[in-house]
C-alpha cells in the first residue's frame, strides 16, 4: 500500500458496552471524524444487539460524511472474554446470552472488511498507548481501570499482550491480601475485592451500618445502593470522613498492587483510567503513587516510571479498537 493510501486510511472503532454502543470513524492518526451512539438493549437477544451495532456503524460513517466503501477495517471492544484470533466473544457477563458469539464473522459478512474483536479494557489501554496518555512511550505500558471490577491491559514491545490462553491482564484477580474480603470470583483478597467500585460501595455501607455518619446517604436520599462515582467526588469535596477513609484505603491497596505489577513487568509507565479515577483521582492517585514507589524492589523516581491519569475518557475504547484495526492492517501489509 502506498504512503498516500495509508494517510487516507479510515477505520471504524466500536465500543460494545453493557448499556450503550458507541461507534466512531477514525483516521490512522487517531482523529475522530464522525460518531454515533445508541442503547445496547441486550435483553432483546444477541441478534438484536448485532443489528444495533450495524446501524450504529452506518450512522457513524454518515456522520463522517463518508461512504462505507471508505472503511478499510473495523475494530470492536467487548466487555468480556474474547478470542482475538477468531473474533469470537466467548463470554460477556454484562450482555445477556452472549456465549461463544462469532461477532467478527457476523460483522465481516455485513461489511466485507476485516473485523478485529478484543476485550474492551485491552482496547482502552491500547488507545491510551497510541494516542492518549501513553503516546510518548513506545515499548511497555500497563493500564489499570478500576470500575465495577478492575480491568487491565498490558502493552509489551509495542503490542497488546493477550497471553497464551487469551487470559493476560486479568489483574483484578491478583490476590493482594491473603484471607481478605470475598471476591466475585470466589477467592479472597483479590485487588478487585479491595479497591473496585463494588468494594468501595460495600465498605461505605458497612461504615454507615456501623454507626458512622456520611454525607453520601444525604446525596443519594438514603439509598446507599445508588452511590455513583459522582456522589463519591461530591462527598470528598465536602470532606466526608467515611468516603475519604474508604477511598484512601482503596487507593493504598491499589498502590501496593501497582508496585507488585511494576516489579513483574517493569513498564515505561502505568496509566490509571475509568470513571472512578476521573471523579476521585485527585485524592486517589497521589496515594497510589506513594504506595507503589515504596513497594518497588528497584527504587525508581516518578520521572523514571510515571503513574499517570488516562486522557481519552469515554473515547478510549473506540480509539483503541480503531488503532488496533490500523495496526492489524499494517501487520497484514508487511507480513
> Quick one: pLDDT at residue 48?
97
| Domain 136-310: CATH architecture, name and number where available | 2-Layer Sandwich (3.30)
pLDDT digits (tens, 9 = 90+) for 286-329: 999 999 999 999 999 999 999 999 999 999 999 999 999 999 88
pLDDT digits (tens, 9 = 90+) for 1-54: 444 444 568 999 999 999 999 999 999 999 999 999 999 999 999 999 999 999
pLDDT digits (tens, 9 = 90+) for 120-154: 999 999 999 999 999 999 999 999 999 989 999 99
Name 76's bridge partners.
14, 117
Summarize the confidence of residues 57-84 as an average pLDDT.
Answer: 96
β-pairing, 10-16 with 269-272? unpaired
Average pLDDT over the chain reads: 92
- Domain ranges across the chain: 3-126+314-334, 136-310
Is pLDDT of 166 > 70? yes
**Residue 175 corresponds to which cell in the numbers above?**
490476590
- Asked whether 171 and 151 are in contact (CB, 8 A), the reply is yes
Is pLDDT of 333 > 80? no
Is pLDDT of 276 > 90? yes
- Asked whether 310 and 277 are in contact (CB, 8 A), the reply is yes
> Quick one: pLDDT at residue 194?
98
- Asked whether 299 and 262 are in contact (CB, 8 A), the reply is no
DSSP string, 286-303: HHHHHHHHHT-SS---TT
Is pLDDT of 335 > 80? no
Sheet holding 159-160, edge to edge: 159-160, 150-156, 141-146, 269-272, 307-309
CA 142 – CA 160 distance, rounded (Å): 10
> Quick one: pLDDT at residue 220?
62
Q: What percent of the chain has pLDDT over 70?
A: 94
CA 244 – CA 249 distance, rounded (Å): 8
Count Cα neighbours of 161 within 13 Å in the Cβ-side half-sphere: 19
The residue to which cell 476521573 is assigned: 278
Q: Quote the crossing angle between the two packed helices 275-294 and 241-265, to the nearest 10°.
A: 60
**Residue 82 corresponds to which cell in the numbers above?**
474474547
How many other CB atoms sit within 10 Å of the CB of residue 179? 7
> Quick one: pLDDT at residue 332?
59
Cβ-proximal residues to 307 (8 Å cutoff; 6+ apart), any chain: 258, 269, 270, 272, 285, 288, 289, 292
SS3 141: strand
> Quick one: pLDDT at residue 4?
44
| Domain 3-126+314-334: CATH architecture, name and number where available | 2-Layer Sandwich (3.30)
Summarize the confidence of residues 107-121 as an average pLDDT.
Answer: 97
CA 62 – CA 223 distance, rounded (Å): 42
Same fold: 3-126+314-334 with 136-310: yes
Amino acid at each position: 500500500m502506498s504512503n498516500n493510501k495509508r494517510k487516507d486510511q479510515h477505520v471504524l472503532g466500536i465500543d460494545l458496552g453493557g448499556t450503550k454502543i458507541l461507534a466512531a470513524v477514525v483516521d490512522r492518526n487517531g482523529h475522530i471524524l464522525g460518531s454515533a451512539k445508541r442503547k445496547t438493549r441486550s435483553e432483546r437477544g444477541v441478534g438484536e444487539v448485532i443489528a444495533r451495532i450495524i446501524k450504529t456503524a452506518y450512522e457513524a460513517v454518515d456522520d463522517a460524511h463518508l461512504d462505507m466503501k471508505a472503511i478499510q477495517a473495523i475494530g470492536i471492544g467487548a466487555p468480556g472474554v474474547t478470542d482475538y484470533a477468531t473474533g469470537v466473544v466467548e463470554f460477556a457477563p454484562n450482555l445477556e446470552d452472549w456465549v461463544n458469539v462469532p461477532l467478527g464473522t457476523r460483522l465481516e459478512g455485513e461489511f466485507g472488511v476485516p473485523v478485529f474483536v478484543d476485550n474492551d479494557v485491552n482496547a482502552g489501554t491500547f488507545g491510551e498507548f497510541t494516542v492518549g496518555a501513553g503516546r510518548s512511550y513506545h515499548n511497555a505500558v500497563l493500564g489499570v481501570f478500576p470500575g465495577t471490577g478492575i480491568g487491565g491491559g498490558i502493552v509489551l514491545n509495542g503490542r497488546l499482550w493477550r497471553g497464551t490462553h487469551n487470559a493476560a491482564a486479568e489483574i483484578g484477580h491478583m490476590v493482594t491480601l491473603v484471607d481478605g474480603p470475598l471476591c466475585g470470583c470466589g477467592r479472597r483478597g483479590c485487588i478487585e475485592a479491595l479497591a473496585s467500585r463494588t468494594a468501595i460501595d460495600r465498605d461505605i455501607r458497612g461504615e454507615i451500618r456501623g454507626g458512622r455518619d456520611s454525607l453520601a446517604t444525604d446525596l443519594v436520599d438514603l439509598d446507599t445502593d445508588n452511590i455513583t462515582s459522582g456522589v463519591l467526588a461530591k462527598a470528598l469535596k465536602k470532606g466526608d470522613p467515611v468516603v475519604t477513609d474508604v477511598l484512601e484505603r482503596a487507593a493504598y491497596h491499589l498502590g501496593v498492587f501497582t508496585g507488585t505489577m511494576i516489579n513483574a513487568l517493569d513498564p515505561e509507565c502505568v496509566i490509571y483510567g475509568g470513571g472512578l479515577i476521573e471523579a476521585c483521582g485527585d485524592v486517589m492517585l497521589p496515594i497510589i503513587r506513594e504506595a507503589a514507589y515504596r513497594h518497588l524492589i528497584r527504587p525508581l523516581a516518578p520521572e523514571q516510571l510515571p503513574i499517570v491519569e488516562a486522557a481519552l475518557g469515554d473515547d478510549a475504547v473506540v480509539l483503541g479498537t480503531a488503532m488496533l484495526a490500523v495496526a492489524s492492517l499494517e501487520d497484514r501489509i508487511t507480513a
